[in-house]
Amino acid sequence: MSPEDFLKEIQAIGEKFLLKLQKLPKADPVEIASFSVVLLFIATVLVLTIIACSCCCYSCCGCDGRPDPRHKKSRVRPAA
């Protein structure tokens, strides 16, 4: 898929989303509820992704941006 096709696809999805938002006040309650569930799912995934990335970056780098030496993996050699 070329970048132009990708941008056209994203634009089409955005236009469909805006059209759905414009029709939402006149929609029946089931459609409003299902749309709300989809939006809640998307928001939940985004929030959990942000939390996971921030926790990963914090454990790797610490809050000052330098790597924390306590989190380095050390190899254990067998006793001979």
Task: State the amino acid at position 51 in one-letter form.
Answer: I
pLDDT in tens, 2-42: 888 999 999 999 999 889 888 888 889 998 899 899 989 99
pLDDT in tens, 36-72: 999 899 999 999 999 888 877 766 665 555 555 555 5
* Three-class HEC string of the chain: CCHHHHHHHHHHHHHHHHHHHHHHHHCCHHHHHHHHHHHHHHHHHHHHHHHHHHHHHHHHHCCCCCCCHHHCCCCCCCCC
**Phi and psi torsions of 68, nearest 5°:** -85, 120
All structural domains of the chain with their residue ranges: 28-60
pTM as predicted: 0.54
- Look at the block and give the residue holding tokens 């000052």: 64
